[in-house]
Amino acid sequence: MNESAQQSVSEMVSGIMSPVDLRVMQHAMFMACDSGDTLRTVDDVETLGRVVLRLYAAGLVDPQKLADAARTMAGVVHIQGLRRAV
């Protein structure tokens, strides 16, 4: 992780998000939504967004890896019916 991304993540953990943070998460969301998987409801998209935010805050800042991991985790949440827990 480069210094700028590391600083951005540490600021976000303290509650401050930079434009860089938002762009990375937005890019990951676009990639996750364009993956060909069917997001059936608004709840599915919201769950995906919450997962992206949590993974990013945990330090996963590569947009492709973030999108892939978020898709996987959101799928598990959907299957197990744990939407509100994310």
| DSSP symbol at 62 | -
**Amino acid (one-letter) located at 26:** Q
Tokens for 8, please give them: 């951005």
Q: Which domain holds residue 27?
A: 3-85
Query: Phi/psi zone of residue 36: left (φ > 0), alpha (ψ -120 to 50 degrees), beta?
Result: left
Residue pLDDT tens, the chain, 86 long:
555 555 555 555 567 889 999 999 999 999 988 876 666 778 888 888 999 999 999 999 999 999 999 988 887 766 666 555 55
Model pTM greater than 0.85?
A: no
Provide the pLDDT for residue 55. 94
Rounded distance between C-alpha atoms, residue 27 and residue 54, angstroms: 15
Number of domains the chain contains? 1
Query: What pLDDT shows up at residue 47?
Result: 86
